[in-house]
């Protein structure tokens, strides 16, 4: 699937940009030119050679705070997706095979999570478990898990009725063997799409919670925290929120674009799409070659 994704220009762009964001998450604190927690006397400075994105109301370098806050923002979104994947996808697949009782309990649990107010429950659970990113992201991951449950269950139900799966059941194959051998490959594309979308949603949630001061203790840097500090001093630096806002928007857009690319290249329709693109590219190259050959022949005839 990765090769198919990279064959599309939009897939290459999404993967390249998300790789850049991942690099910021890993190397951002080391690349920060200044200490993101240390203030100076140069308050609310405009962008300059010394401070590329200016300074905040405490004189802290904005670029350094964005780079240092990349780790919390990115890995918080990853934590949301991983928790939702394990809490939602695995029970969703097994609900088709582990009997009516397990299916009933998991469906009622998912319905309960869907009925709960998303951000209100996340704030309440964070207050109960402690004000930290891991606690907040664990709660958000649980709240997002119904999406994975329903996607995995629907994909598994479509596979469970196939003849080769029924033959494996009649032959006495174990549930784990059937899931690993027959079901997982068919369920992987829709789960991959849901994961990419959830990473974008998780990124928005992380930025929202840190913007509100939930999940992180000031003065620790985060993208939402940098945006919140910029909004308080728009009279002095009205352009300041643009930097963080554009970075958040591009990251979420790249995750959604990746989800769209995975949807396009998955399954038989994806193979047909890539085959049509290859055929169109080959036809275009052939036309170019024919026109170039015709021009050479024309030049040869006109030359005495």
Each residue's pLDDT tens digit, 91-129 = 998 888 888 898 899 998 888 888 877 667 777 777 777
- Residue 220 contacts by C-beta under 8 Å, 6 or more apart in sequence? 37, 69, 72
Report how far residue 154's alpha carbon sits from residue 193's, in angstroms, rounded to the nearest whole number. Answer: 14
The token pair at 150 is 């329903």
Rounded mean pLDDT, 144-158: 88
Q: What percentage of the chain carries pLDDT values higher than 70? A: 86
pLDDT on residue 97: 81
The token pair at 223 is 């993208």
Q: Are 282 and 25 in contact (CB under 8 A)?
A: no
Residue 268 has pLDDT above 60, yes or no: no
Interval 214-262: pLDDT, tens: 777 778 888 888 888 888 888 888 998 999 999 999 999 999 999 988 8
Report how far residue 121's alpha carbon sits from residue 207's, in angstroms, rounded to the nearest whole number. Answer: 17
Residue 161 has pLDDT above 90, yes or no: no
Q: Are 55 and 34 in contact (CB under 8 A)?
A: no
**Burial level of 237, CB count in 10 A (0-12/13-18/19+)?**
buried
Band of residue 208 on the pLDDT scale cut at 50, 70, 90: confident
pLDDT on residue 27: 92
Q: How far is CA 157 from the centre of its chain?
A: 26
């Amino acid at each position: 699937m990765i090769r198919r994704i990279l064959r599309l220009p939009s897939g290459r762009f999404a993967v390249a940009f998300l790789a850049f964001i991942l690099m910021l998450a890993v190397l951002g604190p080391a690349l920060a030119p200044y200490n993101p927690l240390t203030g100076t006397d140069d308050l609310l400075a405009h962008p300059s050679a010394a401070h590329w994105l200016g300074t905040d109301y405490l004189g802290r370098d904005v670029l350094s705070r964005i780079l240092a806050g990349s780790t919390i923002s990115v890995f918080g979104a990853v934590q949301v997706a991983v928790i939702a994947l394990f809490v939602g996808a695995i029970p969703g697949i097994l609900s088709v095979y582990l009997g009516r009782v397990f299916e009933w309990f998991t469906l009622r649990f998912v319905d309960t999570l869907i009925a709960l107010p998303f951000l209100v429950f996340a704030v309440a659970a964070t207050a109960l478990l402690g004000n930290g990113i891991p606690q907040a992201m664990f709660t958000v991951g649980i709240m997002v898990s119904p999406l994975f449950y329903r996607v995995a269950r629907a994909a598994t139900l479509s596979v469970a009725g196939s003849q080769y799966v029924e033959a494996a059941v009649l032959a006495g194959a174990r549930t784990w063997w059937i899931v690993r051998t027959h079901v997982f490959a068919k369920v992987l594309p829709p789960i991959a799409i849901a994961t990419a979308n959830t990473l974008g949603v998780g990124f928005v949630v992380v930025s929202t919670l840190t913007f509100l001061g939930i999940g992180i203790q000031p003065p620790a840097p985060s993208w939402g925290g940098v945006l919140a500090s910029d909004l308080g001093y728009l009279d002095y630096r009205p352009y300041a929120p643009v930097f963080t806002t554009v970075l958040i928007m591009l990251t979420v857009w790249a995750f959604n674009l990746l989800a769209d690319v995975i949807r396009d290249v998955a399954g038989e329709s994806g193979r047909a799409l890539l085959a049509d693109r290859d055929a169109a590219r080959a036809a275009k190259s052939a036309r170019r070659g024919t026109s170039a050959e015709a021009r050479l022949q024309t030049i040869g005839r006109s030359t005495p």
